[in-house]
Amino acid sequence: MKLAKVIAAATAATMLLAAPVMAEGTLKFATNPEFPPFEFITAEGVIDTYDGIDMAIAKMIAEDNDMEVSMESLEFDSLLVALQNGQVDAIIAGMTITDERKEAVDFCIPYYTATQVMIVKEDSDITCAADMADKKICVIQGYTGEICVNEMGYPYEAFKKGTEAVMELVNGKCDVVVIDSATAAKYVSDNEGLKIVEDAEAFEAEEYGIAIAKGHEDLVEKINASIEKFLEDGTIAALAVEYTEAEADADAE
Ligand code: GLN
């Protein structure tokens, strides 16, 4: 065999080995279920104990493609590696599509638009991002919030989980937590004495996308077709309302 052919054959073999288990009819997802209302653990979720907007979307995509769905829990930092290893087929984790992440994986079309916001105490004097300059800032490790604060050049402390960062704030050990908008709203409704401060000029809009290992255009196309459908018929918008209102109702009780 010519060298080029050998390389081609070897590449094909590796691709087969690394190919996701889709052939078995199961779409294997991973998430980090520390990000309400998109993913969290509950007694009875939409996929096993996994519940949230993303979990409902994952299930709908699998059903739309006549496949079973499975969900695995990983650290947020490990999600893209699991994809590259072929451990799972897709990541759905409120993950913002960024140029840096696009170097490692492919993204399906965006399904949700969010932005970073600041959670502060109700009596805080922080009114815009620049006010964070002399404050103690908390972020969550590996989230786009950390990247934003880093780019602004402010020192910060990074936590593994959103709940940990919010506890620091509640306990008066920090002044502000920078995190995604819908998740911030959830934490503010769950904890007394907190509010959200927005700064649309400092924090750009972010788009969430499902990540797929590079080289699986067929899977990206299938998922894109489903997402397009669910965006057009309003299913995704309805899910977002359902999961944020469910919380508001529970809080009102
Ligand atoms: N959107 C943020 C990011 O992509 C946070 C995502 C998450 O925690 N699930 O970094």
Kindly report, residue by residue over 113-158, the tens digit of the pLDDT: 999 999 999 999 999 999 999 999 999 999 999 999 999 999 999 9
Percentage of residues in the chain having pLDDT higher than 90: 87
Beta bridge partners of 253: none
The residue whose CB lies within 8 Å of the most ligand 1 atoms, and thus the one to mutate among 32, 75, 91, 96, is 96
Which residue from 29, 133, 132 is spatially nearest to 71, judged by alpha carbons?
29
Choose the weakest-confidence range: 66-75, 164-173, 184-193, 243-252. 243-252
User: What's the N-to-C CA distance of the chain in angstroms?
Assistant: 72
Q: Residues 182, 114: contact at Cβ < 8 Å?
A: yes
- Centre of ligand 1 from the C-alpha of residue 149, in Å: 14
Q: Cα–Cα distances in Å, from 131 out to 137, 148, 166, 198?
A: 11, 15, 19, 12
Q: What span, in angstroms and rounded, lies between the C-alpha atoms of 189 and 187?
A: 5
Q: 3-class secondary structure for 24-76?
A: HCEEEEEECCCECCCEEECCCCCECCEECHHHHHHHHHHHHCCCEEEEEECCH
Q: Looking at the CA of residue 143, tell me the nearest atom of ligand 1.
A: 10
Strands (E), 136-193: 137-140, 157-159, 176-180
Kindly report, residue by residue over 164-214, the tens digit of the pLDDT: 999 999 999 999 999 999 999 999 999 999 999 999 999 999 999 999 999
Percentage of residues in the chain having pLDDT higher than 70: 87
Q: Looking at the CA of residue 38, tell me the nearest atom of ligand 1.
A: 9
Q: Looking at the CA of residue 146, tell me the nearest atom of ligand 1.
A: 10
pLDDT of residue 10: 52
Residues in the chain: 253
Q: What is the mean pLDDT of the chain?
A: 92
Q: Looking at the CA of residue 96, tell me the nearest atom of ligand 1.
A: 4
Tokens 């140029």 map to which residue?
99
pLDDT of residue 245: 81
Q: Cα–Cα distances in Å, from 222 out to 54, 64, 216, 225?
A: 17, 9, 10, 5
- Centre of ligand 1 from the C-alpha of residue 11, in Å: 33
Pairing of strands 211-212, 137-140: unpaired
Its pTM stands at 0.88
Residues with CB under 6 A from ligand 1: 32, 35, 76, 93-96, 143-144, 180
Residue whose Cα lies nearest atom 10 of ligand 1: it is 143
- Centre of ligand 1 from the C-alpha of residue 142, in Å: 8
250 — pLDDT class (breaks 50, 70, 90): low
Position 248 pLDDT exceeds 70? no
Beta bridge partners of 144: none
The DSSP string of 117-136 is: EEEEETT----SGGGGGGS-
